[in-house]
Structure 1
Amino acid sequence: MTTPTTSRPPSLPRLGVFKFASCDGCQLTLLDCEDELLGIAHELDIAHFLEASSDIGTGPYDLSLVEGSVSTPEHVERVRRIRDQSRHLVTIGACATAGGVQALRNYANVEEYLATVYARPEYIETLATSTPISAHVPVDFELRGCPIDRGQLVEVITSFLAGRKPGIPNHAVCFACKRRGNVCVTVAHGTPCLGPVTHAGCGALCPTYGRGCYGCFGPAATTNLPALVPLMHRDGMSDEDVGRFLHTFNVTAFTAVEGEGPG
């Protein structure tokens, strides 16, 4: 007589979600997936995600999603530990992929900032710069945005489960505007717009409502800033205005394209 055995499901891939210097907006985008998140939860073991649960699982992780920039000495050591424990590491959002808006401090004196913001700056441990995760460890994929698009996030996670490359577009926001049938705000109204040089992902949200693109998703794969800047000058922007327009959410990314810091 044989003893019946109970079949056990194979172990699920383990997901870790981690935060560095950021506003939590990209992690909240994952929680905002709602119905999609329920489906993902059946295919993944969500081992570490403090935004969603205090039940913390240790590594190793098959997929780690990392939000935020590296801004303190402790961050440097921590991101290296996460990388060592992660089979695949994906950075999510402008902070993790380009240093975030806080990287504006890279072009100023951090000691002056500390003295201005904190009553006791001697208790603050910080680096002089805010840098993307890729400046410290190898990254398998970068998902841009401030915040990221939830549809693109689901695509990245499902592509990992399927063992394929994420199908994230590399074209500029202008392409999305054309698909939506938008009238070009720059051509028609003289509104400054970073759509021609910004990575698609938002669905051309701002131009759809008559506003210029603010560059939330960082530089597109191919950019032609030398052609765009004269249009901004034509529409009344000074060199200083252009510099400020470019240096917000993705300051270090656009600086790399320009080859210089904010004016």
Structure 2
Amino acid sequence: MKPFGEKPRIAVHKFSSCDGCQLAFLNLGANLITLSQRVQLTHFLEAGLDAPDTPVDIAFVEGSLSTPDEVERIRKVRENSRYLVSIGACATAGGLQALRNLDNKHDEWRDAIYAQPEFINTLKHARPIAQEVRVDYELWGCPINSRQLVACINALLFGVPPFDNSEKLCLECKRQQKVCVMVTEDKPCLGPVTRTGCGALCPSFGRDCYGCYGPSENSNTQSLSRRFAGMGLLPDAIARRFLLINSASPAFNEAGLAARATGEEKDGQ
């Protein structure tokens, strides 16, 4: 990795999303001032900075590609960026917008929702940033947190690749000595196939993980699906567990569609 200049330039771009991941910057609070002494924020609409075409060293991109305009914009962002980092479930795995990819009813839903659908210009399939341009690093989560963001920036500024923590959430629960909600309470937890990063937030409060940080490394979704079925979950319920926030990630997509197909076979018998 080549060294940066004295004060690297950073941009934060928004595409189709809820803005939640951009808040990882604003949630830094006073530390954002410290960060601004080390880098120059050139574009960040949430903070009032509007210069989207300025060449930068690092571009953080939130949101999925859901419109033709966004496809054109992400190409320009890629051209103007030395490193491009996609942040959050929408940017890394399509997010909730990708739910429309599961059924070929884009036009039907659009016409039913909007009074004048002829003015709505969207892609029939929402997709992650990496499906259109080269992405150098990804920060998973819905939303990401400030800790991930600072770690990524520090790594890049020190000239080393950011660490991709793709281990399973179950390991984080073990480190925190949390009681397994699937073993003790028979809750359908996605922790065995979901990457850590949230700090095991939901299991800490006795709730089952719903996979907001996306698939972990070597995620054995097939085995977990069988475990869910053994717990009494119907195929449709299993499919919904996987096809939610990260439905466009291959591991969760395949598991969800397989469960859905199983349900359809049973309904047809």
1:91 corresponding residue in structure 2: 86
Bigger shift: 118-127 or 228-237? Answer: 228-237
The Cα shift of 1:11 comes to: 4.5
1:133 corresponding residue in structure 2: 129
Residues 235, 259 of structure 2: 8 Å contact kept = no
SS of the residue aligned with 1:65? strand
1:258 corresponding residue in structure 2: 255
1:229 corresponding residue in structure 2: 225
Q: Which amino acid aligns with 1:107?
A: L
Distance 1:65-1:129 versus aligned 2 partners, 3 A rule? same
CA offsets, 1:216-242, max 9 Å, x none?
000001111122112211222111100
Residues 196, 223 of structure 1: 8 Å contact kept = yes
CA distance in 1, matches of 2:38, 2:53: 19
The Cα shift of 1:58 comes to: 3.8
Distance 1:22-1:227 versus aligned 2 partners, 3 A rule? same
Residues 68, 96 of structure 1: 8 Å contact kept = yes
Residues 187, 208 of structure 2: 8 Å contact kept = yes
RMSD of equivalent CA atoms: 1.5
Distance 1:150-1:262 versus aligned 2 partners, 3 A rule? farther
2:98 corresponding residue in structure 1: 103
CA distance in 2, matches of 1:176, 1:157: 23
CA distance in 2, matches of 1:99, 1:203: 23
The Cα shift of 1:149 comes to: 1.9
Residues 98, 250 of structure 1: 8 Å contact kept = yes
Residues 64, 88 of structure 1: 8 Å contact kept = yes
Q: Which amino acid aligns with 2:195?
A: H
CA distance in 2, matches of 1:192, 1:88: 38
1:26 corresponding residue in structure 2: 21
Distance 1:20-1:57 versus aligned 2 partners, 3 A rule? closer
Structure 2 residue 177 is the aligned partner of structure 1 residue 181? yes
Residues 47, 58 of structure 1: 8 Å contact kept = no
CA distance in 2, matches of 1:25, 1:183: 29
CA offsets, 1:31-61, max 9 Å, x none?
1011332221111110000000245364211
The TM-score with structure 2 as length reference comes to 0.90
SS of the residue aligned with 2:37? helix
Residues 13, 52 of structure 2: 8 Å contact kept = no
The aligned runs of 1:55-204 (5 Å cut-off) are 55-56=50-51, 58-108=53-103, 109-204=105-200
CA distance in 2, matches of 1:154, 1:13: 14
1:41 corresponding residue in structure 2: 36
SS of the residue aligned with 2:60? strand
Unaligned stretches of 5+ residues in structure 1: 1-9
1:6 corresponding residue in structure 2: none
Q: Which amino acid aligns with 2:91?
A: A
CA distance in 2, matches of 1:245, 1:57: 37
Structure 2 residue 207 is the aligned partner of structure 1 residue 211? yes
CA distance in 2, matches of 1:42, 1:262: 50
Distance 1:259-1:247 versus aligned 2 partners, 3 A rule? closer
Bigger shift: 191-200 or 218-227? Answer: 218-227
Q: Which has the larger radius of gyration?
A: 1
Distance 1:76-1:152 versus aligned 2 partners, 3 A rule? same
CA distance in 1, matches of 2:50, 2:108: 40
The Cα shift of 1:255 comes to: 3.9
The Cα shift of 1:81 comes to: 0.5
CA distance in 2, matches of 1:201, 1:32: 17
Bigger shift: 219-228 or 89-98? Answer: 219-228
The TM-score with structure 1 as length reference comes to 0.92
Structure 2 residue 241 is the aligned partner of structure 1 residue 245? yes
Residues 107, 262 of structure 1: 8 Å contact kept = no
1:5 corresponding residue in structure 2: none
